[in-house]
Amino acid sequence: MAITLIIVDDQPNIRHAVKECLALEPDVQVVGEARDGAEALALARRLRPNVVLTDIKMGGMDGFAVTEELHRALPDTRVIILTIHDTLANRERARQAGAAAFVTKHEPAEALLTHILAAHGGAGDLSP
């Protein structure tokens, strides 16, 4: 059974690029896209994905708040932070919010897939 996933980013080109990369993976199915935190929460509550990929910096609710809310509302849904803002402080905030992993947008697509598979399997790596 495929891993179901939602992509959350305020930049349509980023959502499209991630979706295109993941389209090549038979074990991953992108079931939705959201441009902000509120839209992501509504979509996740309706679709109940296995994994949510979210950026940190978005209008309205940021990725940390989305992660915290999803962690409370949908504890079986794993959240992966996908961002360009790679700092120790952001990694720590992601961990505290309940994220399963922290991936930078500069990493190769294979790294993202590895984190998705690990998060879905219940593992995660938020080490600096």
Stretch 59-73: mean pLDDT:
93
- What is the overall mean pLDDT for the chain? 91
Edge-to-edge strands, sheet with 28-34 = 28-34, 3-8, 51-54, 78-83, 101-104
Write down the pTM of the prediction: 0.91
Work out the percent of the chain whose per-residue pLDDT is above 70: 95
Cα 127 from Cα 93, distance rounded (Å): 12
Segment 80-102, tens digit of pLDDT: 999 999 999 999 999 999 999 99
Residue boundaries of the structural domains of the chain = 1-8+27-50+63-78+97-123
Residue 123: pLDDT over 60: no
